[in-house]
Amino acid sequence: MSLTSRFSLDTQLFASLRFDRARVVDLLVGWWHSAQVRRQRRALLVSRVQLMAVVFAVLVPLWIVPDVIAFPAAQWLPLAGMRLASSVVFLLLAYSHARVHSGWEVSLRLGVLLTVPTVFHVLACSVLLDVPRSGFAGVLLQIYALLPFVVVAGLAVFPLTGLETLLYALPIFAAFRQAALITGEFSLPANIGTLWLLLLVTGVAMVSGMSQLQYMIALVRQASADALTGALNRHAGVETLELLFRVSASHNTPLALMFVDLDHFKQINDGWGHEAGDAVLRGMAAALRGSLRRGDVLVRWGGEEFLVILNHTDVSGARLVVNRLRHAGLGQRPDGSALTASIGVAERLADSAQDWPELVDLADQRMYAAKEAGRDRAVLPQHTAVPC
């Protein structure tokens, strides 16, 4: 990659990293992440859980040596047993199958990774309750007291939303309080400074996780977006449609497609040039996005063809979208006349589609039926024509 190309890519990424109101919600809760972002984030979370598990599986048993030196057998033996058991759990996390099918499985793996040291901290406080707080043993006790801070700081390694970071941190706060109650040292005035520091570390971990998530979203959007219109490119659209079709089939929910093809687009390129044609396509994409819900997906399928994925939408809902497009319009041609399109609609349940290619093929066939019927109209299942 040339220096100029690299600078251009970095500039585009920096621009996409800027906060706006729509993306702040994605960083705080992540309920509307695209299928590509979800897939990439799951893969990254699993790989980092496995890496951290390998590190912990090696380091945790090694700490048995300082325990043997500092504590009597009544303390270091149960600690050694807990460390070995923790190491076994970490090894299972590290070498479990890497393929992940759901976000819940990813959350479970990360939760287990954080739970093991958190539970170890509470149990260790019970074991070390009568250990003198002087000499080398006192130094180790202070290190044990820092374990909640280490666990919370470890959240900074993962691309988490703000809500996820908070939910993972709350049990660690509870464990810190429980450990202080066991040792008889918990009181709000005495621990306010420590709690504030723990809260500060949580805030830093939250900012770090959200920053990683933001950068990852920018990279995914850069790779999956059509450069001209900002819609998903065909490759990303196929991935999204395949996922949504699978979810729709498993839950028996509706899923509608709109195949949109601009009418007489070749005349625009031939008469006004390709720059005018590009401007029309950008305006068309913007008009389509303006008529869609947040959960709907716009894909540039090729040339002047667009595919609109209407999740959880039946034929009646798709008809409403067509009507919104009819009233809002699709933009203008270079001569000022209204831009029109031929639209084919297919719906998984109404058409009894067995897979997503069949659904796309049905929508494509109805789009051509709309063109043969005179263009500037939509053909829905049961060949119901709706003028646009």
Model confidence over 13-28: pLDDT tens digits? 444 444 456 678 888 8
pLDDT value, residue 83: 95
pLDDT value, residue 221: 79
CA atoms within 13 A on the CB side of 323: 6
Q: What is the DSSP code string of 265-291?
A: HHHHHHHH-HHHHHHHHHHHHHHHHHT
What residue type is assigned to position 312 of the chain? Answer: H
Confidence at 1, pLDDT banded by 50, 70, 90: very low
The string over 252-278, giving b where at least 16 C-beta atoms fall within 10 Å of a residue's C-beta and e elsewhere, is eebbbbbbbbbbebeebeeeeeeeebe
φ, ψ at 111 (rounded to 5°) = -60, -40
Kindly list the domain boundaries of the chain, sorted by start residue.
Answer: 9-223, 234-387
Confidence at 5, pLDDT banded by 50, 70, 90: very low
In 10 A of CB 298, how many CB atoms?
A: 22
Least confident of 21-25, 61-65, 212-216, 339-343: 21-25
Active site residues: 304
pTM surpassing 0.75?
A: no
Confidence at 384, pLDDT banded by 50, 70, 90: low
CA atoms within 13 A on the CB side of 74: 6
Confidence at 188, pLDDT banded by 50, 70, 90: low
204, 230, 222, 231: which is closest to 14 by C-alpha? 222
In 10 A of CB 131, how many CB atoms?
A: 17
pLDDT at 382 over 80: no
pLDDT value, residue 238: 92
Residue 91 or 9, more confident: 91
Confidence at 101, pLDDT banded by 50, 70, 90: low
For 317-366, the pLDDT digits (tens) are: 999 999 888 888 888 889 888 899 999 999 999 999 999 999 999 999 99
Confidence at 10, pLDDT banded by 50, 70, 90: very low
CATH superfamily of 234-387: Reverse transcriptase/Diguanylate cyclase domain (3.30.70.270)
Least confident of 172-176, 193-197, 201-205, 287-291: 193-197
